């Protein structure tokens, strides 16, 4: 199937962060796009503004008639869709051309010079930084988050160079053909898919073997490639880190030159690592160091990655997508770095029963580091409940007296009962929607 010849594309699960980037790409290139999603969101609203027709009930009667010609329509779906989904099964049973999201992304980018960012943590921020740097090279970037500079998960450019977030979920990144790639981390995750950490690691090795040009890796990973690190020897090294006026200032040593006084506004040393990875990829591609430095100083961040929702002298509300113990630790470290003397309240919504089960002790350890914890019920996403796995189980493992199990309808009241100056809301479920309600409520209460 030649994508350029396809004029109608239907998405099953169009509101997903990865799906919506591809839908936006096709719509922006004059294709007729429509789709289904479970619930309305800011993402679906932004697609509708582009003329994409979207419905929220799984029913064949809602599919526009122009998308029912199997010879002219490509159907794209996300693996998160349930196996008994009526619309998806209709397309499968009636011999439509049906592809997974990753397969379509692979086809879009296979004829481009592709820069791919993989890793269990940091890939969204790193690929967004890289997309911002490569925007001046007219690259088109497919991101797993909303880049603040563009208010989009798609940075539209031309069709010669692409930047792609390479997702390890469901082995999706093996559909790509990267020329330059980076691997930020290989921590155990998605064990509901892989079964064990060793199998996940094997998939990263397989991805690394697909890279036709240069592979760049965080120092310490069991792979061969150019290395990057903060404050230790590596092919790309960030050092002389300082925090001034709410921003990092640091130097970078590359294999060929030294760049002084780079300014970067995202908090946390893990984000310096992300910036350094993007720097290395752009440098290998051939972007002049001075231009990379300028782009880093103007990067505004990614929504739900340490996003300030309220930032005043007496109250701070932070929103973050962290849903793995390693990510929670990184957020906690960043907050302590920025607010070393303040009490911090963490609101956490676990994501997936299987992930909670697989990392229960690590979650408990990470959450115990906060001064206070409010723990919501597990967000199931694509999963059915697992016997014995619950937020209550996690709650009892958290070694902190200042903890409470809470329900969504009581969350604002419980936050207000705290004396913490800094509140951080963590998780990959619908807590991202709840944070806006908290923000509005706290703004109104301070008027």
At residue 251, φ and ψ (nearest 5 deg) are -110, 155
Q: Which residues pair with 238 in a beta bridge?
A: 230, 252
* CB neighbour list of residue 402: distance below 8 Å, 6 or more residues apart: 371, 372, 373
- Please state the pTM of the whole predicted model: 0.82
Which residues does 214 contact at the CB level (< 8 Å), separation at least 6?
A: 180, 181, 225, 226, 284
pLDDT of 196: 61
* pLDDT attached to residue 446: 54
Q: What is the pLDDT of residue 190?
A: 45
Residue ranges with strand state E in 290-335: 307-311, 316-320
Residue 235, pLDDT score? 98
Query: For residues 116 and 130, what is the distance between their CA atoms, to the nearest angstrom?
Result: 10
What is the spatial distance between Cα 149 and Cα 147, in angstroms, rounded to a whole number?
Answer: 6
Provide the pLDDT for residue 50.
94
- For the stretch 47-97, pLDDT in tens is 999 999 999 999 999 999 999 999 999 999 998 888 899 999 999 999 999
Ordered structural domains, the chain, with CATH: 3-101 (3.40.50.720), 110-298 (3.40.1190.10), 307-445 (3.90.190.20)
DSSP category for residue 68: -
Q: Do 19 and 78 meet the contact criterion of CB atoms below 8 Å apart?
A: yes
**Angle, nearest 10°, between helix axes 360-368 and 325-338?**
10
What confidence score (pLDDT) does residue 197 get? 65
Instruction: Tell me how far apart the alpha carbons of residues 157 and 141 are, in angstroms, rounded to a whole number.
Output: 8
- pLDDT lower than 50: segments of the chain: 190-191, 194, 447
Q: What is the dihedral of CA 408, 414, 420, 422, to 10 degrees?
A: 20
pLDDT at 305: 85
């Amino acid at each position: 199937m030649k994508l350029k010849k396809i004029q109608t594309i239907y998405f099953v699960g169009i509101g997903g962060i990865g799906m919506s980037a591809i839908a936006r790409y096709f719509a922006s290139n004059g294709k007729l796009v429509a789709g289904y999603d479970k619930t309305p969101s800011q993402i679906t609203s932004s697609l509708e503004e582009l003329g994409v027709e979207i419905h929220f009930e799984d029913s064949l009667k809602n599919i526009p008639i122009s998308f029912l010609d199997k010879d002219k329509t490509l159907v794209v779906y996300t693996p998160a869709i349930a196996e008994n989904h009526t619309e998806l099964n209709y397309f499968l049973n009636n011999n439509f051309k049906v592809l997974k999201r990753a397969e379509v992304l692979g086809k879009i980018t296979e004829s481009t010079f592709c820069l791919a960012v993989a890793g269990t943590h940091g890939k969204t921020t790193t690929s967004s930084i890289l997309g911002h740097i490569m925007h001046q090279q007219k690259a088109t970037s497919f991101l797993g988050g909303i880049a603040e500079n563009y208010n989009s998960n798609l940075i539209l450019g031309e069709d010669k160079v692409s930047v792609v977030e390479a997702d390890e979920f469901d082995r999706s990144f093996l559909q790509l053909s990267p020329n330059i790639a980076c691997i930020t981390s290989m921590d155990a995750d998605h064990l509901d898919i892989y079964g064990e950490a060793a199998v996940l690691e094997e998939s990263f090795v397989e991805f690394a073997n697909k890279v036709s040009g240069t592979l760049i890796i965080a120092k310490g990973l069991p792979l061969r490639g150019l290395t990057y690190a903060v404050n230790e020897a590596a092919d790309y090294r960030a050092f002389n880190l300082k925090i001034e006026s709410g921003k990092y200032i640091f130097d970078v040593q590359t294999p060929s030159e030294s760049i002084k006084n780079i300014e970067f506004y995202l908090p946390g040393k893990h984000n310096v690592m992300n910036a350094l990875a993007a720097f290395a990829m752009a440098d290998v591609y051939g972007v002049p160091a001075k231009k990379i430095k300028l782009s880093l100083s103007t990067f505004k961040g990614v929504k739900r990655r340490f996003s300030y929702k309220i930032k005043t002298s007496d109250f701070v509300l932070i929103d973050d997508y962290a849903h793995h113990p390693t990510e929670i630790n990184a957020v906690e470290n960043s907050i302590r770095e920025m607010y070393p003397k303040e009490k911090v309240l963490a609101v956490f919504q676990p994501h997936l029963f299987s992930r909670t089960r697989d990392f229960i002790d690590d979650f408990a350890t990470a959450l115990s580091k906060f001064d206070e914890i409010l723990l919501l019920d597990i967000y199931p996403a694509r999963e059915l409940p697992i016997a014995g796995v619950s937020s209550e189980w996690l709650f009892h493992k958290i070694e902190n007296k200042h903890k409470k199990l809470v329900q969504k309808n009581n969350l604002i009241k419980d936050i207000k009962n705290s004396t913490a100056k800094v509140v951080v809301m963590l998780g990959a479920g619908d807590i991202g929607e709840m944070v806006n309600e908290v923000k509005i409520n706290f703004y109104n209460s301070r008027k």
